[in-house]
Amino acid sequence: MLKIENLHASIEDKSILKGLSLEVKAGEVHAIMGPNGAGKSTLANIIAGKEEYEVTAGNIELDGEDIGELAPEERAHNGIFLSFQYPVEIPGVSVTNFIKTAINETRKAKGLEDMPAKDMLKMIREKSELLEIDRKFLSRSLNEGFSGGEKKRNEIFQMAMLAPKLAILDETDSGLDIDALRIVANGVNKLKSKDNAVIVITHYQRLLDYIVPDFVHVLHDGKIVKSGDASLALELEAKGYDWIKQELV
Amino acid sequence: MSKYTEEQLEQELKTQEYKYGFYTDIESETFAKGLNEEVVIAISKKKNEPQWMTDWRLEAFRVWKKMEEPEWANVQYEKPKFQDIAYYSAPKEKPKLNSLDEVDPELLDTFKRLGISLDEQKKLANVAVDIVMDSVSVATTFKKTLGEKGIIFMPISEAIQEHPELVRKYLGTVVPTTDNFYAALNSAVFSDGSFCYIPKGVRCPMELSTYFRINEGGTGQFERTLVVADKGSYVSYLEGCTAPSRDENQLHAAVVELIAMDDAEIKYSTVQNWYPGNKEGKGGVYNFVTKRGLCENNAKISWTQVETGSAVTWKYPSCILKGNNSVGEFYSIAVTNNYQQADTGTKMIHLGKNTKSTIISKGISAGSSQNSYRGLVQIGARAENARNFSQCDSLLMGNLCGAHTFPYIEVKNKTAQVEHEATTSKIGEEQLFYCNQRGIDTEKAIALIVNGFSKEVLNKLPMEFAVEAQKLLEISLEGSVG
């Protein structure tokens, strides 16, 4: 589904990704771990198409198609979803209105009519139940005054509504208490299918107890330096990142 | 919002983008350029006015001649040449066009984006079309309903003929002819406008809109509106329309007077979309307006305005809270783009006891525009326990525009409580990327953010008007972020 080859990227002339390659197939869950500054969030943003990064070499393909030149919204229309580490506030725009706009804009891009209100209502009801979101929450301004947990839960709610092909969860576990973590992870697991894929970016093993990855990659200094199965995450947790760094020397 | 019921959720999901109403600017037969006493007399004569009205105009003209054009507003423009303006316009048929191909393509494009149907596009552009205008029958039913309640709603020129005692009693009592340069000019030469009278204890059953009146008597560049709500009555009045108003007249100087007697309430909503000039800042309407309302005991006046048009706007809908326990409200969204300039706000003059006022002003600046809020809150010596709350929020788009806030607060009574809050924010790259990532393109994202920012004010508008205004905000800001 996603194929990244020899990706080099920089921001303001500072090189961040230095030859990263990654392949994610449908039905798989990949975890990307690594110390601060390794380039994890950069990778997420570049896949989503954030413009301030400059891709200097390599390419990104989604379903065999080079998406390097696509605008962020076009990538979204093609099924890429990013759960943000720090979701932004949009005062005065309700959660409902925002998701309705997102869904209908995506449908419009595909030449479809707006989703009938009845269908959307049904879907909202279903997905908000899945994430244990109460109705009043849906009327609040997007992310305004939300707790850390509410923000992340809202991200996953949007993911559930948009049903992306490829979901990238950027530090979705940060700022979550254990109950919220369970709800969010449970939501992600229920959304998983053989047709979609998830990339989980995290510092810690904790989230991976709930969302069990098929592959774990360690990102260090802009490259994937080690890959393995779920046991690699446990090993990292036990030995710390210094172990990887030493191994590289 | 205390609750968010299933119904409300459903409602929010159902809200559709609106199909637009229409508004025609009627081309005019005009007098020769220039202004002197003869012209004032000629205007009055042309309208077959009684002597008192002619004298009133002449008095205003004499005052105006001695006045100077004000310069304190935070706007820069080339001053109108007053002897180079024609001061009388009577509605005249526009030249009929045979097909839409003959219409200015830019205008057609705007119609299209507003979602105006092909037939209505033809009507707006004055292309010959064989359909019965629905509004005629609507207007007839409408008049009948109002008549049964004793409500008077007609062009002010007709009211001067049919209800001279009412007009004479109230005209100029809130905005005197001597009030300011443009009010004096308007008083001398106003061509037409609306008059509305709601009898004692009557609740006007529908929104009174100039929409229903526009084809009966064209309005000119100097519009005069007088709304009188007698004791215990209620009226909601809508002015303007969202369809773009192209106009040859560069200077517009309207006067609006509202009188809310004891226990009466007037809601006055405006959507203004005069031609703002082109992208380089050439052309466009100067909109210099005086709007003021007087509240007697327990009366309430709410001004709600959405201002997106005009090259230069200079406008301060105000409330004189003369009666005890009276309430004044001002809710405003002012959008400026390209080279537009707006200096707008309100005056809340607290004279009575326990008077309350609320000011919510939202300024949105884009392009190279300048947007100023100017507001006066004045608490008189006898206004025991007066309260005011003001909130002025500015939203900036890009680095070339400006937002300015000029609050004036004058308090002469120690029991007063006056609060002022102001914020300035900018649409950030992070907000746009977030929206983009969800499949919402930048243009739509801006519309979404702007609507969210303006929500408190949009909510004050009558439903259909609010949806139109929302769409209008989107169109006004199109192309403002590259």
> pLDDT tens for residues B47-106?
899 999 999 999 999 999 999 888 888 888 888 888 877 777 554 444 455 666 666 565
Q: Is A176 helix (H, G, I), strand (E, B) or coil?
A: coil
| Inter-chain CB proximity A84 and B8 less than 8 Å | no
For A185-212, how does the pLDDT look when each residue is reduced to its tens digit (9 = 90+)? 999 999 999 999 999 999 888 899 999 9
For an interface test with B, give the residue of A42, A97, A114, A162 to mutate (most B CBs within 10 A): A97
pLDDT for A88? 95
**Is the model more confident about B482 or about B164?**
B164
Sign of the dihedral defined by the CA atoms of residues A13, A17, A19, A21, in that order: negative
Out of A98-102, A210-214, B16-20, B347-351, which region has the weakest mean confidence (pLDDT)? B16-20
Of B198, B299, B317, nearest in space to B255 by CA: B317
| Inter-chain CB proximity A92 and B453 less than 8 Å | yes
**How buried is residue A33: exposed, middle or buried, by Cβ count under 10 Å (0-12/13-18/19+)?**
buried
Q: Is B388 helix (H, G, I), strand (E, B) or coil?
A: strand
| Inter-chain CB proximity B12 and A94 less than 8 Å | yes
Number of A–B residue contacts, CB under 8 Å: 103
Q: Which residue of B has its CA nearest to A139?
A: B4
| Inter-chain CB proximity A98 and B431 less than 8 Å | no
Residues of chain B with Cβ-Cβ distance to A97 below 8 Å are 12, 448
Query: If pLDDT is split at 50, 70 and 90, which confidence band does A249 have?
Result: low
Domain A2-88+147-248 indexed as CATH 3.30.470.20 = no
What average pLDDT does this structure show over B279-299? 88
The mean of the pLDDT values for chain B is: 81
pLDDT for B339? 87
A158 in Cβ contact with A116 (< 8 Å): no
Say which residues have a Cβ less than 8 Å from residue A196's Cβ, sequence separation at least 6. Answer: A26, A27, A163, A164, A165, A166, A167
Q: Is residue B9 less than 8 Å (CB to CB) from chain A? A: yes
pLDDT tops 90 at residue B248: no
Sign of the dihedral defined by the CA atoms of residues B242, B243, B244, B247, in that order: negative
Q: Is residue B429 less than 8 Å (CB to CB) from chain A? A: yes
pLDDT for B130? 29
Residue B409 sits at φ, ψ, to 5 deg, of -125, 125
A89 in Cβ contact with A144 (< 8 Å): yes
ipTM: 0.96
Separation CA A189–CA B201 (nearest Å): 63
Residues of chain B with Cβ-Cβ distance to A48 below 8 Å are 433, 437
CA distance B440 to chain A (A): 6
B354 in Cβ contact with B325 (< 8 Å): yes
Separation CA B235–CA B259 (nearest Å): 11
H or E segment and range at residue B471: helix B463-476
Residues of chain A with Cβ-Cβ distance to B444 below 8 Å are 101, 105
What average pLDDT does this structure show over A98-106? 96
What average pLDDT does this structure show over B452-467? 85
| Inter-chain CB proximity B439 and A73 less than 8 Å | yes
pLDDT tops 90 at residue B481: no
Closest partner CB to B13 (pick from A88, A91, A120): A120
pLDDT tops 90 at residue B23: no
For A142-171, how does the pLDDT look when each residue is reduced to its tens digit (9 = 90+)? 999 999 889 999 999 999 999 999 999 999
- Bridge partner list, A80: A166
**Is the model more confident about A55 or about B284?**
A55
Separation CA A101–CA A12 (nearest Å): 33
A18 in Cβ contact with A222 (< 8 Å): yes
| Domain boundaries of chain A, sorted by first residue | 2-88+147-248
For B359-373, how does the pLDDT look when each residue is reduced to its tens digit (9 = 90+)? 999 999 988 899 999
H or E segment and range at residue B450: helix B442-458
Query: If pLDDT is split at 50, 70 and 90, which confidence band does B252 have?
Result: confident
| Inter-chain CB proximity A98 and B434 less than 8 Å | no
Of B352, B356, B355, B354, nearest in space to B382 by CA: B352
Tokens of B415: 């029991």
pLDDT tops 60 at residue B314: yes
Separation CA B222–CA B220 (nearest Å): 5
Query: If pLDDT is split at 50, 70 and 90, which confidence band does B433 have?
Result: very high
Separation CA B112–CA B130 (nearest Å): 20
Out of A108-117, B29-38, B421-430, B449-458, which region has the weakest mean confidence (pLDDT)? B29-38
Tokens of B198: 């709601």
pLDDT for B86? 72
Closest partner CB to A109 (pick from B9, B439, B452): B439
Separation CA A123–CA A128 (nearest Å): 8
Residues of chain B with Cβ-Cβ distance to A47 below 8 Å are none
Say which residues have a Cβ less than 8 Å from residue B69's Cβ, sequence separation at least 6. Answer: B79, B181
What average pLDDT does this structure show over B220-236? 91
The mean of the pLDDT values for chain A is: 93
| Inter-chain CB proximity A91 and B452 less than 8 Å | yes
Q: Which residue of A has its CA nearest to B452?
A: A92
Closest partner CB to A82 (pick from B5, B6, B437): B437
pLDDT tops 70 at residue B15: no
pLDDT tops 70 at residue B472: yes
Tokens 């100029």 sit on residue: B172
Q: Is residue B453 less than 8 Å (CB to CB) from chain A? A: yes
| Alpha helical stretches, state H, A23-165 | 40-48, 72-77, 95-109, 117-130, 135-138, 148-162
pLDDT for B219? 40
pLDDT for A140? 94
pLDDT for A61? 96
For B94-128, how does the pLDDT look when each residue is reduced to its tens digit (9 = 90+)? 445 566 666 656 556 655 555 555 555 554 444 43
Query: If pLDDT is split at 50, 70 and 90, which confidence band does B35 have?
Result: confident
For an interface test with A, give the residue of B435, B449, B454 to mutate (most A CBs within 10 A): B435
pLDDT for B82? 82
pLDDT for B1? 43
pLDDT for B129? 32
Q: Find the length of chain B.
A: 482
Tokens of B289: 């307006």
Q: Which residue of B has its CA nearest to A118?
A: B10
